[in-house]
Structure 1
Amino acid sequence: MTRPESAARSAGAPPEPTRAGSTLAVLAYTGVVASLMQTLVVPLLGDLPRILHASASNASWVVTITLLVAAVATPVAGRLGDMYGKRRMLIASTIPIMVGSIVCAVSTSLIPMIIGRGLQGLGVGTIPLAIALLRDVMPPERLGSAIALISSSLGIGGALGLPIASAVTEYSNWRVMFWVAAVLVAIATALIVLVVPEGTSEGPSGRFDIPGALLLGAALVCLLLPVSKGAAWGWTSGSTLGLFAAALVLLLVWGWWELRSPEPLVDLRITARPQVLVTNLASIAVGVGLYALQLSLPQLMQLPKALGYGLGQSMVMMGVWMATGGIMMMVISPIGAKLSAARGPKTTLVTGTLIMAAGYGVALPLMGSIGGLVVVNIICSTGVAFAYGAMPALIMGAVPQSETAAANSFNTLMRSIGTSVSAAVVGAVLAQMSVQMGSHSIPTEHGFRTVFLIGSVVCLVAALIAVLIPVRRAVQSVPAQPPETAKAFAEN
């Protein structure tokens, strides 16, 4: 009696080693491509008003809309993945990125570009979906390293995307950048269809929580919009304070609804478990620490040497130096997985946040040279690789398999909130500590030192929060396969 391979797949059995390796490669590639969208338009920021015939304030929506859409779409994609299949939702998440890239490539004005960037934001949910799918299809002995790699792809793609986008922008037409993105995503979609198996689907078969999704989406928009635009609107303006108040009310209403719903978008009772709750709090702090580096180092590298603290690098060379962080994440991710296997993911998370804090600390004496900033980038990226690989492992060790995608998506949302807060804080600090030179406002050396100090303190806070995570013993081992899965795999 030999059951066909498809039967073993449907029962949740791990694929053969060759299939497992190809599955991991495809999911890692997809995660990197999806995260490329974060830094895709960074080299264009200064030229967007001219390209789109819009004011600088309106052109900034090209960045803001991606953030807002990603925040709303990520928990929705995770819940749908638990209900209807993670592979299916992976494919559904990549298609909007491809369509959005094409829309951006042919745009000649602001509105189409905003629509295209909004569609690209729908793809951020691919990373937590991929992490959740790994729990279903990877052999237990390879699960830890696979999770670390996929989780780090968010930082890897962001770091590698910067030099690629910079080179394309400098040596070719900016539209080529979006056409290339569309082709990369099309390849990812085809590979998922051809290579990636479907994971187990143990979620409820009932209806999707539409009211919960709408309430959470509205609350996140009201929260993140003033965080992103507060510096331009004024932090004490009626619009800013009104949206923050609306966000608080909507979050309370959403929480009340989720606790009453028989099939909630996010199971708050599971989210409130100490291990999940504290890990999510640490994720916010890690997001703040990560993005502060990505916002400050490129600016410092490109400022003129005549200032005395700028390093005078071109856009392309800045991208090359920043890419060292992405390369380091790829190298360190397997090491972080081994540390998690030996000492538990909590230890890895604490280690990562402490390394990030140390990286910001050494930035203060090393910021005067390009080599020093590369060292800072490598140290901080090492810490990010440890931390990003550990957080999904902590989350998945505390939730049932039927909640894996939703729980990981919510954790990704917490990181996104951290990066949004970081952007607001760093932007406010550098704007406040700046000097006017002609028509340009230039951040001062003291402003950058303040950002590095804030980054170090925030990472130390993240380490303290991580120390307080109450880890169950079961978390430190890979979840066992269910009896029917083990039987199906053995019979093959």
Structure 2
Amino acid sequence: MSQTRTSPPQAHERSRSTTRNVLVVVALVWTVQLVALVAALSGVAQADIAIHFRTTDIAWFTLMTLLTGTFFLPFAVKAAALFGKKRVLLVATGLGFVGDLVAAFATDYRTLLIGRGIAGVYAATAPIAYAITRDVFPRRWVGLASGLLAGGVGLVAFGGPFLAGWLLDGYGFRGVLWFMAISTAASFVLVAAFVPESPVREAGGRMDWIGGLLLGGGITAIVYAVGQGSQWGWGSAEFAAYIAGALITLVAFVLVERRVADPLFPPSMTRRRPVWTVLLATSVAAGSLSAVGVVMQMLVLMPKIPTISEGLGWSGTRNAVVTSPISAMIIVAAVGTGLLVRRVDARILLGTGSALTVLGYGIGTHLHHNAAQIVEMGLIAGLGTGMVVAVVPIMIIEVVTPEEQALANGVQTLGQGVAQIVVSQLAFVVMAQHGRILKGTQFYLDTGFTNGLWLVVGCCALGALLVLLIPRTKRLDEAEVGQAA
């Protein structure tokens, strides 16, 4: 008589749990890294878009997404804390898909910007995904999942240029826009199918609409003023009025937050020194690195036209080939940082990573005229970039409670977005001081690219110095995690 063997119930349950956790990780990694992938694709496509639509305002192709994402982010993270993180993930992803469709069908630059603006709401998915990771995984999975979510930027950096080159060279910028729409739809399906709802909620809270409008309005006014400053004049009445109005609005936001029963970001969280110093340092360090693509993509993809443009004139495919070693370095650094963070103080890792980006891009201010020089600069800066992006989400877990996680991630993403927007806008302004306009398109000379890189170096150096403000905190292994596990 044959006998049938069955696996022990515990072993079978562990196998099912592992499979489920892997699927959740895949869904969340796709959701988080799609933000980075879209940013990479946008950077590669912006030169062709500027030439096609004959616009000197190409900065807004990228910044429109950042601007609306930053404006809606406070509402999204507060809604996630009140109504459930998975629900808000699905809403943000659905709106992102609608915006991608509008952009893909756009026949004029204004409609394209409207679509990118709607799609910007998708940016809120990243901090919420990091927060849900803390809630739905058992302790042994939290560090691994957080590292994979952050380290995935290396995979995007590695494969993104090849994908962008294939799309741009074969299908033009329209192919890039349609890929964004298809990818966002895939993100919606993955989250709906595999990601469980987090049980961690803010009990009895309300949406702080007034605070959100004041915060979003103030930030929007600053970004718009910086973007228009070169046209208005930095000493003009228009620029001064926008900056003054923004500062008044942000002061009003602080006063409102002190009085309302359910503030957008609780002062009890943001006043703690470990929290606000981590948020400040990581926002400046990561935001500055996010903005460097503005300079580098224009440098390598803009054509070389005597006395008009001194870009390298590479195709999207050549850009991917040359920068692939840099992308590999980001992956190695991110994985290595994820392993080291249990043994090395996270402050040391953040400071070291920021210092390496200063060194790499500092070298690039003088050596950026051929492929060998781009690789030399990128390997050093890529090592630092991988360290910074991997350690940021772990540092936030170390300084806040599970109930504060979504809000803290939101504050960090908001700060990083503001830093990225301001540095990106200033980079375009700085580069345009040494450039030419030909047939409605802004081109840049070598001095413009050099000054743009110096701007990035200065901002990365500021991020490294801010690490000195962070006090010693508990390690990842000591943090409270796994509420839903």
Deviates more, 1:463-472 or 1:158-167: 158-167
Shift in CA distance, 438/70, structure 1 to aligned 2, threshold 3 Å: closer
Per-residue CA deviation, residues 19-75 of structure 1 (Å, 9 max, x unaligned), is 2222112111111223333244444434546756xx625665443321210111222
1:208 partner letter: M
**Whole-angstrom CA distance in 2 between matches of 1:246 and 1:438:** 36
After superposition, the C-alpha distances for 1:265-301 in whole angstroms (9 at most, x for unaligned) are 1113311221221222213431453145312223332
Counterpart of 2:105?
106
1:173-212 alignment runs, 5 A limit? 173-212=172-211
Distance 1:158 1:248 in 2: 36
Instruction: Please say if residues 333 and 387 of structure 2, whose CA atoms lie closer than 8 Å, have aligned partners that are also in contact.
Output: yes
The answer as to whether partners of 1:149 and 1:330 remain within 8 angstroms in 2 is no
Change (3 A) 1:36 1:138: same
Counterpart CA distance in 2 for 1:232 and 1:159 is 37
Residue 6 of structure 2 corresponds to which residue in structure 1? none
Question: For each residue in 1:191-230, what CA deviation from the matched residue of structure 2 results, as whole angstroms up to 9, or x when unmatched?
Answer: 1111112223231333211111111111111111112332
Following superposition, the deviation at residue 445 of structure 1 comes to 3.5
Q: Is the partner of 1:477 in helix, strand or coil?
A: helix
1:125–1:154: structure 2 CA closer, same or farther, 3 Å change rule? farther
The farther-off stretch of 438-447 and 336-345 is 438-447
Structure 1 segment 82-93 matched on structure 2, within 5 A? 82-93=81-92
2:154–2:334 Cα contact (<8 Å) kept: no
In the other structure, the counterpart of 2:293 is 294
Per-residue deviation, 1:438 = 9.5
Q: Distance in 1 between matches of 2:356 and 2:376?
A: 12
Q: In the alignment, which residue of structure 2 is the partner of 1:373?
A: 374
Shift of the 270–23 alpha-carbon distance from structure 1 to 2, 3 Å rule, reads: same
In 2: Cα distance, 1:345 partner to 1:47 partner:
40
Q: Which residue number in structure 2 is paired with residue 231 of structure 1?
A: 230
- Would the aligned equivalents of 1:36 and 1:160 in 2 still touch at CA under 8 Å? no
Between the aligned partners of 1:162 and 1:228, the Cα distance in structure 2 is: 27
Residue aligning to 1:335: 336
Give matches, 1:372-391, under 5 Å.
372-391=373-392
**Identical columns (%):** 26
What is the RMSD computed on CA atoms of the aligned residues?
A: 3.1
CA contact (8 A) 1:344 1:476 kept: no
Shift of 1:170: 2.8
AA of the residue aligned to 1:87: K
Give the whole-Å Cα distance in 1 for the aligned partners of 2:328 and 2:247. Answer: 40
Q: Residue 313 of structure 1: SS of its match in structure 2? A: coil
Q: CA deviation at 1:158?
A: 6.8
The 1:368/1:51 distance shift into structure 2, 3 A limit, reads: closer
Quick one: distance in 2 between partners of 1:376 and 1:390? 22
Q: C-alpha distance in 1, partners of 2:28/2:62?
A: 25
Take 1:439 and 1:31, find their aligned partners in 2: how far apart are those partners? 36
Amino acid at match of 1:178: L
Report the Cα distance in structure 2 between the residues aligned to 1:92 and 1:136, rounded to whole angstroms. 20
The amino acid that maps onto 1:70 is G
Q: Is the 8 A contact 2:310 2:444 kept in 1?
A: no
C-alpha spacing 1:328/1:442, structure 2 compared with 1 (3 Å): same
Aligned to 2:164: 165
Hey, what's the Cα distance between the residues in 2 that align with 1:275 and 1:133? 22
Q: Which moved more, 1:106-115 or 1:134-143?
A: 106-115
- Equivalent in the alignment of 2:425: 424
Q: CA deviation at 1:160?
A: 4.8
Check conservation: 1:345, 1:394, Cα contact below 8 A: yes
Amino acid at match of 2:167: V
Measured in 2, the distance between the counterparts of 1:71 and 1:240 equals 21
Alpha-carbon distance, 1:253 to partner:
0.5
Q: Deviations over 1:292-317 (max 9, x none)?
A: 53122233324539789754422432
Structure 1: distance between partners of 2:423 and 2:291: 6
From the superposition, tell whether residues 369 and 397 of structure 1 become closer, same or farther in structure 2 (CA, over 3 Å): same
CA distance in 2, matches of 1:152, 1:324: 16
Amino acid at match of 2:434: M
Q: 1:463 is matched by which residue type in structure 2?
A: A
Q: Which amino acid aligns with 2:369?
A: G
Q: Does the 8 Å CA contact 1:309/1:368 hold for their aligned counterparts?
A: no
Shift of 1:440: 7.2
Structure 1 position 155, deviation (Å): 7.2
Contact persistence 1:145–1:338 (CA under 8 A): no
Residue of structure 2 equivalent to 1:221: 220
Question: 2: CA distance between counterparts of 1:237 and 1:155?
Answer: 42
CA 1:343–1:59 in 2, change beyond 3 Å: closer, same or farther? Answer: closer
Is 1:259 the counterpart of 2:267 in the alignment? no
Task: After TM superposition, give the deviation of residue 421 of structure 1 in Å.
Answer: 1.9
The one-letter code matched in structure 2 to 1:218 is: G
Post-superposition offset of 1:395: 2.0
2:310 paired with 1:318: no
| 313-322 or 152-161: bigger deviation | 152-161
1:477 aligns with 2:477: yes
Distance in 1 between residues matched to 2:326 and 2:199, nearest whole Å: 35
Give how far 1:425 is off: 2.6
Matches within 5 A, 1:440-479: 443-472=444-473, 474-479=474-479
CA distance in 1, matches of 2:370, 2:243: 41
Structure 1 unmatched ranges of 5 or more:
none
Worse-matched range after superposition: 323-332 or 422-431: 323-332
Corresponding residue of 1:69: 68
* Deviation larger for 151-160 or 107-116: 151-160
* C-alpha distance 443-102 of structure 1, shift in aligned 2 (>3 A): closer
- Matched to 1:101, the amino acid is D
Displacement after TM superposition at 1:163 (Å):
4.5
- Residue in 1 aligned with 2:117? 118
Letter in 2 for 1:170: D
How far the C-alpha of 1:467 sits from its partner, in A, is 2.4
Between stretches 226-235 and 396-405, larger displacement belongs to 226-235
In the comparison of the two structures, how many residue pairs are matched?
A: 472
In the alignment, the residues of structure 2 paired with residue 250 and residue 44 of structure 1 have an alpha-carbon distance, to the nearest angstrom, of: 35
Deviations 1:103-150 (A, max 9, x none): 222222344323211121000011111111111122323323422332
